[in-house]
Structure 1
Amino acid sequence: MTSLKGKGYILLGKWFKVFSSSAKLRFYPPQFALRKPVVRAVEAAISHDYEVAVIVFNVKELLELKEKGQHEELPQFITSLKQAFKKVVIDQVREENLLTIHDYYSDGITLLMNIKGSSKSLIYMDELIRSISREVKERLLSVNPEQAVTLNTGYMFVEHKHYSIEGALDKAHRQAVTMAEAESPMNEMRESINQIIENGNINLLAQPIFDVATNQIKAYEVLTRGPRGTELENPLALFAVARQTGRLYDLEKIVLEKSFRQISENESPQNVFINFTPVTLSDPRFVNEVKDMLKKYKGVHANQIVMEITERDPILNIEEFIESIRGLRELGFRLAVDDTGVGYSSLYAIIEIMPEIIKIDRSVIENIDHNAVKETMLKGLLLIAKETGSVVVAEGIESIGEAMVLSRNRVDLAQGYYYARPSTVDKISISS
């Protein structure tokens, strides 16, 4: 059995947290959204600024048994399925106790998971889902060689702004079931993302990046939101659906073009950070399409754009990725590596890419003014940046204490609510 710890995911605890103080993994009966322990757990997660993901594992064989009327075989099959899931989840997160598992009314198993509200964490969830699916299948086969299962998975985030917790859980579950049934021609979430991409219906925000020494704005980071008032307004939900439906490249291309259009309209000389996953950067179409956009938007200059590499997706075609990086640099774009300090993968990316900019993750910065070890880590990352000739940006600054630590360590740039919250993208102005 292969655990995520063996793949460099020992720091998953930075993304996933337990729901309750008891940290127990338990099964609940159907309609768990109406049970107080689950509701309280979700409310507690949300109150601590976590997003809650509902993950559905639909079991094809379970549905087939129901359709064939073989109800006498159902109890034993469901029992085996639950035991396999429970054992695998415990093995995956034995030390962290990161998941709570629930029985629900779909044709399979539903898990709940807390994650910090960032699109960077989607790759961790994807990897966990794949690992759980693989090991459940292996465990069932080890018990009964004839008990092969087909797991179709989907996930969605609980939208807690416009609904009661019970209603939000129910809605998120139904959407996750829809994603698990992605082959259905009536998949409403697939249709929603297709409409968004076809109409370019996304909204952009811009968060300023400040010079720590002078407290002057030096750049902006573009942030993406889905259509206002919809279930995909939340960027986690938007990118989760795009990822699960194979439309991630198309979505990120729209973000790029909208960003170029806004910069051109504003006649802005400001440096602008735009996020891209390795999925997009590895696509052989990307560099040529970027060239076409530069020709279309004459007011945009490649040297003012920083392409920020987010997430740690497996790079399926390393040759295409390296070629794309080379092509972007030849055009004049600069590259930033995100998440630095989270784990080995970000340091490896720095070695491979030699980025012009290194972004230090919020997990390093949070409460750094009260944690000498974190400040020592920051100093180490600054030394790495000096060796690579990289500018350093610290993310997620939320207090004057954190800002003071950056100042005394001579960090170059910083962003976060302490300096400024995101605003509409038209705030990327002509001021320097």
Structure 2
Amino acid sequence: MTDFDGDGSRSGRAQQRPVTADDICDLVRRGGPTMVFQPIVDAADLNVVGYEALSRFPTGTACPAEWFDSAAQSGLSGALEGAAVLSALNEAASFPPGMFLAVNLSPAALTDDPLLAEPLRHAARHRRIILEVSERTHIHEIDTVLTRVNDLRGAGVVIALDDVGAGQSGLRQVITVRPEMIKIDAFVTHDIDTDPLRAAIAAGTVTLAEQFGMTVVFEGVESDAELRTVRRLGAHLLQGYHLGRPAPAAHGTTPL
């Protein structure tokens, strides 16, 4: 899940001053963003099966999306996202056995920093690692991205396509990346219990995914009615404030 609101909720946020390249470099030198972890649950029994690592930035600064957008514009995606991934991998050592860790990398970061693959390969030897590639942005340098993705896949990393339903090129990226996991964006999940079109789109995605052996995660489950609906539609995994809020590793690994 790309955390565009900064706290994972649907609420807005006051405008902050723009993030500069100097801000990003300074934060990376200090170890990168703070990481929190949101539980992902099995739709069948609602037990926690893993966590997604989400970035938090200094209080009073811009939201995560603006930090990552600024990094992309400054050619610093690899540096900022890499710092976040390394922090997440280190903190995941405290997770209970059997819990997976999902981390986010943009296509830009995958091409900017080829060295990011090694810590992911190493971590996948000890824990199930899911790499979420965002669907919100068009994939440039597709051959390079696919080479990196396939290399990680060969090392045991599960490839997920994030934010499906929020971007403009969803089907193209599903066909191109061939992920093992599809994460349906909160935009689709929101009011899915009262919106037949959202429900139909989600049901079609589940049918497609199951036909090709892909796991489907519904993001942004924020009410009991949404929960009941996505379970009825065939969700495999679930994520959202109704099921568990992001928390530091010391607090975020307690089963619901």
TM range (shorter): 0.7 to 0.9
The one-letter amino acid paired with 1:250 is A
Kindly indicate whether residue 125 of structure 2 is the aligned counterpart of residue 291 of structure 1: no
Percent of pairs identical after alignment? Answer: 27
Q: Of 242, 245, 267, which aligns to 2:71?
A: 242
Larger radius of gyration: 1
Question: Residues 230 and 349 (structure 1 numbering): CA distance in 2 closer, same or farther, change over 3 Å?
Answer: same
Q: Does structure 1 retain, via aligned residues, the 8 Å contact 2:135–2:161?
A: no
Q: Distance in 1 between matches of 2:203 and 2:164?
A: 13
Q: Tell me what 2:56 maps to.
A: 225
Match of 2:21 among 181, 187, 190: 190
Compute the displacement of 1:303 (Å).
5.6
Q: In the alignment, what sits opposite 1:98?
A: none
Indicate conservation of the 8 Å contact 2:110/2:116, yes or no: no
What's the CA shift for 1:259? 1.1
Partner residue in 2 for 1:362:
186
Does 1:50 find its partner at 2:24?
A: no
Contact 1:341 1:347 in 2 (8 A): no
CA contact (8 A) 2:217 2:239 kept: yes
Give the CA deviation at 1:353: 1.4
Instruction: Report the AA paired with residue 142 of structure 2.
Output: I
Structure 2 length as normaliser, TM-score?
A: 0.86
Contact 1:354 1:388 (C-alpha < 8 Å) held by counterparts: no
2:46 to 212, 215, 233: 215
Paired with 1:397 and 1:208, the residues of 2 have a C-alpha distance of 12
CA distance in 2, matches of 1:292, 1:219: 19
Q: How many angstroms apart in 2 are the aligned matches of 1:348 and 1:291?
A: 28
Corresponding residue for 1:423? 247
Whole-Å Cα distance in 2 between the matches of residues 361 and 430 of structure 1?
25
Q: Please give the alpha-carbon distance, in whole angstroms, between the structure 1 residues aligned to 2:206 and 2:96.
A: 34
Deviations for 1:48-67, whole angstroms, at most 9, x for unmatched residues? Answer: 82346xxxxxxxxxxxxxxx
Query: What is the distance in 2 between the residues matched to 1:268 and 1:430?
Result: 12
Partner of 1:263, secondary structure, is: helix
- Classify 1:235/1:329 alpha carbon distance in 2 versus 1 (closer, same or farther; 3 Å): same
Displacement of 1:293 in angstroms is 6.1
* Mapped contact 2:121–2:156 kept (Cα < 8 A): no
Q: CA deviation at 1:210?
A: 1.0
Which aligned pairs between 1:286-325 and structure 2 lie closer than 5 A?
286=114, 288-292=115-119, 294-295=121-122, 301=125, 304-325=128-149
- Structure 1: 5+ residue runs without aligned partners? 1-14, 16-47, 53-157, 160-171, 180-188
Give how far 1:269 is off: 3.2
Q: For 2:127 and 2:189, how far apart are their aligned partners in 1?
A: 28
Work out whether 1:396 is the aligned partner of 2:225: no
Specify the code of the residue in structure 2 equivalent to 1:276: L
The answer to whether residue 31 in structure 2 is matched with residue 204 in structure 1 is no
Q: Which amino acid aligns with 2:117?
A: V
1:340 aligns with 2:164: yes
Aligned to 1:237, the other structure's residue is in SS state helix
Partner of 1:257: 86
Write out per-residue CA displacement over residues 226-266 of structure 1, whole angstroms, 9 at most, x where no aligned residue.
23x3425x313322332232211101111111111112244
1:120-172 C-alpha deviation (Å, 9 max, x unpaired): xxxxxxxxxxxxxxxxxxxxxxxxxxxxxxxxxxxxxx04xxxxxxxxxxxx3
Deviation, 1:320, is: 0.8
Give the partner amino acid of 1:290. Answer: A
Amino acid at match of 1:192: D
How far residue 327 of structure 1 moved from its aligned partner, in angstroms, is 0.5
Deviation at 1:418, TM superposition (A): 0.9
Distance change >3 Å, CA 223–CA 313, structure 1 → 2: same
Structural mapping, 1:8-407, within 5 Å: 49-51=11-13, 158-159=15-16, 172=17, 175=18, 189-227=20-58, 229-232=59-62, 234-266=63-95, 268-283=97-112, 285-286=113-114, 288-292=115-119, 294-295=121-122, 301=125, 304-343=128-167, 345-407=169-231
Summarize deviations over 1:406-432 as a string: whole Å, max 9, x none. 122221111111111111123454979
CA–CA distance in structure 2, aligned partners of residues 378 and 422 of structure 1: 24
Q: Give 1:318 shift.
A: 1.7
The Cα of 1:373 is off from its aligned counterpart by 2.1
Look up the equivalent residue of 2:57 and give its one-letter code.
G
- CA change 1:245–1:302 in 2 (3 A) is farther
8 Å contact from structure 1 (residues 268, 430) kept in 2: no
Gaps of 5+ in 2: 5-9
State the partner residue of 1:110. Answer: none
Rate the CA distance shift 1:209–1:198 in 2: closer, same or farther, 3 A.
same
Letter in 1 for 2:42: D
| Residues 38 and 51, structure 2, Cα contact 8 Å, conserved in 1 | yes
Distance in 2, Cα, partners of 1:332 & 1:416: 26
CA drift of 1:342 comes to 3.1
